[in-house]
Structure 1
Amino acid sequence: MSIWTYITRHRAVFLFVGTLLAALGSLASDPDSGWATALGGLAMLQGIWAVAASHMIRKKLLDYPAADMSKLFETAGKESTGAGLALIAIAIVLVGLLLVFSPRAHAADQLPAGAVKYMPLLKSEQQRLWPDHPRPVLLASLVEQESCISLRSRGCWNPGAKLKTEREEGAGVGQITRAYRADGSTRFDALADLRGQYGAELGALTWSTVYQRPDLQFRALVLMSRDSARQFRQAPAALEFGDAGYNGGPGGVQRERRACALAKACDPAHWFGHVEHHCLKSRQPLYGGRSACDINREHVHNVFKVRVQKYLAAWSVS
């Protein structure tokens, strides 16, 4: 069959026109100026790749003459039982394709709505302020860890996210924090420290504006994460140490690295399997029965091993 004959068949024309109309409809109704449509298209391409890879592997594994599908269907068509078995085989293949494509087609739905909206902003700040980040997609994972109780929670990737108690307030996607003593005086104010350190970049960020300035929130998150990681730049696990420092302070991480160095078979240059097992933070329950130590260890584990995977494809096209 010639290529022209193939592409002008009713089936090919229907698939092409249908795909084009679906893409145009998605683009026209896209609330994020094409971003969500691009994610959906990328997810479909991943599905096509998976099907193609499966097809090639099947051909390699079943490369003997008796398994030639064209001959099998020709033989099956000569009798009713064989034809029925052939139809069953086609149905199984169709179900397999649907199982591959269905999750791929909705891959963009796995991202929080705020991530679709704000990831380009986060990536822009990262490229400007931390262009040599070895794994910049981890910043998206960090936002989720800081702001998302669940992927559908109101605060997830929401600049208006607020965690407030009598003694503490955490603001926005990076949970910029200020804490108070029992007498009401300020114990520490991360926002004020940031503004003092980065006046040119964050001078407009105040406690009266923080919830209305997502641009400054993401900028602050990149700067805080960068500064924490750079304190450990000589270590192979600088990013892991930096994340632990983002959550609990770099000074505490350094003390834990020293404790690791004094322990048998512990390498202070690595987090997982080494420094992570030498927590010096409080083990008194704070939130939901979890201690400061539990929260800190969970933070690094989630950012690096639990949350990041869903953002890989989206980050690459943002």
Structure 2
Amino acid sequence: MAGTVYVLDDYYLAITLLITVAYQLIFFSVAFTFKFDKLTDFAGGTNFVVLAIITLAFSGHHGARQIVASLFIMVWGIRLSGFLLFRILKTGKDDRFDDKRDKFFPFLGFWVFQMIWVWTVSLPVTVLNSPNVQRYPQVPFGTGRDIAGIILFAIGFIMESVSDVQKFIFRQRNDKTAICDKGFFYFSRHPNYFGEIIIQFAIYMIAVSAAADGYVGGQAVKALYATIFGPFFLTILLMFVSGLPLSERPGAKKRYEKGMNWEGYKKYLERTSILIPFPPQIYGRLPVILKRTLFLEFPMYVFDPAKHADGATGQRSAEEGQGAGGARQSGEQLTGAH
């Protein structure tokens, strides 16, 4: 197609991988050399923006679908990287790297994983902008899938952005016994994760719409459909690797063992969906089997004091907290906005 730049392969997979590796290694060298935490997440979010701009510029054909999908991932990346940069500037350092900041290969391992995350989640936009897809006449933008994708993106973006701010404000209170159950956190324990998942599936829906309506043929159809691996990878990452597993059971265990309003938090867990927003008045009455299946609250997330606690420290800490100098008024509500 006239104006299209062909680089290494017909789907821009190699060039985007090389750009991602180089981009992350540059930031890694700064972070490791100066023991500087403030650019780590910023490097991840802005990498999405760089890939979208480059592939859109290379494509030579700027149809509405390309522009919308590319713009959506750029807006998401800018918002995410900006927020995370602001947060780290406020907090000072990232505790995730306390055990690896001075160790070359363990620290590099995090950046390699970030490379994989960026390149994989960018796949729907990368392939949509690629020469092998753009050589086909594109269906006019505005199909039912396109509209659904735009609506889902708006819902996910609002949910993720607002809940990030709600949690940040909540943490500024520095009250370890408070429970974040206001705003979006009234309906979900992790609305920011849910919003991020919805965003990526919305972008995929827009990117694949032309193939679904038969306006793209050959191997390009398979390539577009295969990019669903991007949003699925993000979902798996949040649900089984770096998201829920690191916050659910460990967070409950910490509250129980340190006597940080465990009883109140236990009630919050029972009435609030782990991921999918749902009215707590209904969720709290659902059978456990539905929570463990339909609402994705798998046993791996559930904290059982009898199995997972280190002794009776939770009860002891709670009793000490109510002793001399630590008494609380009965009936005090320890909940706060997020």
TM category (shorter chain) comes to under 0.3
Q: Say which structure is richer in strand.
A: 1
TM-score by length of 1: 0.24
TM-score by length of 2: 0.23
Higher relative contact order, structure no. (Cα contacts within 8 Å, ≥ 6 residues apart): 2
